[in-house]
């Protein structure tokens, strides 16, 4: 079953976030993942929460997603993202 990583991000240091963005695609691809959404306009249809940036990744399964997220290749990039942005990141399984 496919697994999706959904991130709602507010960038607070654009230069550091740009450095993160340059390195992350190869790590995602190495674990069978791909971007479905990478930024773009957000329009709230219900509720009052307005995320600044939304990212959605698709992986073949939860194991591949977690393997990527915990990988030694992603670890230094994750540290960059945590310095450059704040927000929520979660996994959803489904079709």
Per-residue confidence of the chain (95 residues) as pLDDT tens digits?
999 999 999 999 999 999 999 999 999 999 999 999 998 898 889 998 878 899 999 999 999 999 999 999 999 999 999 999 999 999 999 98
Distance CA 20, CA 94 (A): 27
Secondary structure element (H or E) that encloses residue 77, with its range: helix 75-84
Q: Give the pLDDT score at 72.
A: 98
Is the domain spanning 3-42+51-93 CATH 3.30.2270.10? The answer is no
Q: Give the pLDDT score at 39.
A: 85
**Could you tell me the residue ranges of all domains in the chain?**
3-42+51-93
pTM of the full structure: 0.90
């Amino acid at each position: 079953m496919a697994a999706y990583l959904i991130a709602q991000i507010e960038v607070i240091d654009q230069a550091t976030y740009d450095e993160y963005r340059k390195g992350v695609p190869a790590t995602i691809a190495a674990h069978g993942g791909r971007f479905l959404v990478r930024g773009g306009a957000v329009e709230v249809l219900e509720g009052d929460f307005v995320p600044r940036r939304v990212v959605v990744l698709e992986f073949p399964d939860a194991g591949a997603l977690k393997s990527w997220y915990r990988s030694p290749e992603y670890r230094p990039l994750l540290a960059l993202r945590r310095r450059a942005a704040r927000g929520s990141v979660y996994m959803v399984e489904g079709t």
